[in-house]
Amino acid sequence: MILIRDVLVVDGSGKAPYKADVLLRRDRISAIGRFPKMSADLTIDGSGGYITPGFIDVNTDSDHYLTLFTNPEQEDFLLQGATTIVGGHCGSSLAPLLYGSLESIRKWTDPNQINVDWHTVKEFLAALQSRRLGVNFLTLAGHSTVRRALIGEEMRDLTEGELAVFTRIIEDAIKDGVFGISTGLAYAHARLAPYSEIKRLVGVSKKNGGVYATHLRNETNGLLESINETLALAKETGITTIISHLRPIRGFENQFGEAIEKIEGARKRGIKIYFDSYPFDTSFLPIYTLLPEWLKRGNLETMCESIKNTNISERILKELPPLSSDSIVVAQAPEADFLVGKTLGAFAENQNLDLNRALLKLMDATRLRATVFYRNINMDLAIESLRSPAALIASNGVSFPPGSAHLRHERLWNTFPRFLEIVLGSRLMTLETAIQKITSTPASIFGLEGRGVIREGNIADLTLVKSGIPSHVFVNGALTVSEGVSNQSLSGTIIRKTVS
């Protein structure tokens, strides 16, 4: 039994905070009130701090980088107060796998790091459960993962027979526990997928109570067209939709402002649409996504061959995004760790090249398998957009193993504290509204019963914040962070969707 005394309770519902003691028994919130004479196995002084439901990070990449297996503690999430993470985004998931291949995550990491001993979602979730995690985990089914397994590297419409198979796979995946479907329409293996295909598969998710999350086809000069496509899907299918990492890309701020207006207008018409974002000016992306849209065809090897062609490379050079010496930093470079941490400017100087040619050389040197930090976001607009009722907060991050050859940007470990710091410092919204945005709202979207609100009988996923920092974190009633230090407890659970 654990007792948190004299703490300000921000319960996640959006109502005003109140002072109370909170009693935990096993994995549940047993009582909330005043218990001056009660003793417990552990008593924590909550005075001067506030307690909230554990934060829910609605868009994460630990599955894409396989750190669910190589770093099961997932401490970067716990230390910032996140107790539940959502994977399977941007069209790529670790299940279902038709042939046991993880080809769809090659843009992020080496899929050969682990032995895949599953095919179905049920088998995958059971494998994760047996290994145990530090956080709660739930997943979507990736559209590109299945599409690529069905037709390989071909860039074509699916046949009616293939679509029928695809439909059954998604239905089975939801029955096995995924919470819906995701698409990565900007990536090579989905960018030409027709609207009719996406609508049919999204309809399957809706029929089975799932959600839809999408990485838009175009986030720059085609942003509004991509937003219109997504809003049409949400309206025609009725599905709850989340636009992944919607950001005001520099140079396209006007389109971003209009996109937010369209989203908020759609919500007023009853369309269930959200977007997730983070309060930082830096994107974390596979280096090949910086190539022009017309070149994003086939696999990485095909694109690598194209950039070596002199005629094609000269055209690419004219169409690369605006660059500065420090706007791009190498975050990960498989088999080329010496490049990690280098800026584009430093690489260009070393190679005696201008920035555009240096970026092309960097792409070739890493065989398009690097990931980079790209400072391309209008920070002021990004923060302002978080006021929207449609905005959710997500790190879009990874918890890497200690000592790994990856550069760690602040948003991988400080997204939620930074968001709350901004809220309190700028009065962006009330604290109770901010907490609701990162707890009960995502819990409601995904249908996570017993989570997201501090209420007697609910699961004890809790975050105690003192001096702006999560000091104590509880996952399923177990104290996993104490005085800001993780005890590496593997107290998380695999959350499966239940289909009635």
- DSSP code per residue over 415-453: HHHHHHHHHHHHTSS-HHHHHHHTTHHHHHHHT-TT-SS
Q: What is the b/e burial string over 366-375, where b = at least 16 CB atoms within 10 angstroms of the residue's CB?
A: bbbbbbbbbe
pLDDT of residue 254: 95
> Cα dist. 500→173, 174, 208, 272, 341 in Å?
14, 11, 8, 21, 49
pLDDT of residue 500: 67
Digit-coded pLDDT (tens) for 393-432: 999 999 999 888 788 899 999 999 999 999 999 989 999 9
Q: Where are the beta strands (DSSP E) in 54-103?
A: 55-57, 82-87
pLDDT of residue 299: 83
> Cα dist. 496→130, 319, 329, 447 in Å?
14, 44, 37, 10
pLDDT of residue 404: 84
Whether the CB-CB separation of 130 and 107 falls below 8 Å is answered with: no
DSSP annotation string for 194-235: -HHHHHHHHHHHHHTT-EEEEE-S-SSTTHHHHHHHHHHHHH
Nearest Cα residue to 54 out of 480, 385, 496, 401: 480
Sign of CA dihedral 68, 106, 379, 384: negative
Q: In what side-by-side order are the strands of the sheet with 82-87?
A: 55-57, 82-87, 136-139
Residue recorded with tokens 């809790």: 462
- Round to whole Å and give the CA distance between 78 and 84: 9
Residue recorded with tokens 């396209």: 252
pLDDT of residue 298: 76
pLDDT of residue 260: 98
- Round to whole Å and give the CA distance between 191 and 179: 23
Sign of CA dihedral 440, 442, 447, 448: negative
Q: Which residues of the chain have pLDDT under 50?
A: none
Q: Is 426 exposed, middle or buried (0-12, 13-18, 19+ CB in 10 A)?
A: exposed
Domains identified in the chain and CATH numbers: 2-53+452-486 (2.30.40.10), 55-281+378-406 (3.20.20.140), 286-374 (no CATH)
Ramachandran area for residue 33 (φ above 0: left; ψ -120 to 50: alpha; else beta): left
| Sequence-ordered list of residues with C-beta below 8 angstroms from that of 96, at least 6 positions apart, any chain | 119, 120, 121, 124, 141, 145, 146, 169, 172, 173, 176
List phi, psi (to 5°) of 469: -120, 135
> Cα dist. 71→68, 298, 403, 406, 415 in Å?
6, 31, 11, 13, 19
Whether the CB-CB separation of 176 and 93 falls below 8 Å is answered with: no
DSSP 397: B
Neighbour tally for 178: CB within 10 Å: 31
Digit-coded pLDDT (tens) for 167-214: 999 999 999 999 999 999 998 788 889 999 999 999 999 999 999 999
pLDDT of residue 105: 85
DSSP 38: -
Q: Which value, to the nearest 10 degrees, does the dihedral of the CA atoms of residues 233, 239, 277, 377 take?
A: 0
Q: Record the pTM.
A: 0.95
Neighbour tally for 197: CB within 10 Å: 19
Whether the CB-CB separation of 162 and 150 falls below 8 Å is answered with: yes
DSSP H or E run through 157: none
Q: What is the b/e burial string over 224-240, where b = at least 16 CB atoms within 10 angstroms of the residue's CB?
A: bebbebbbebbbebebb
- Strands 469-475, 462-466: parallel, antiparallel or unpaired by DSSP? antiparallel
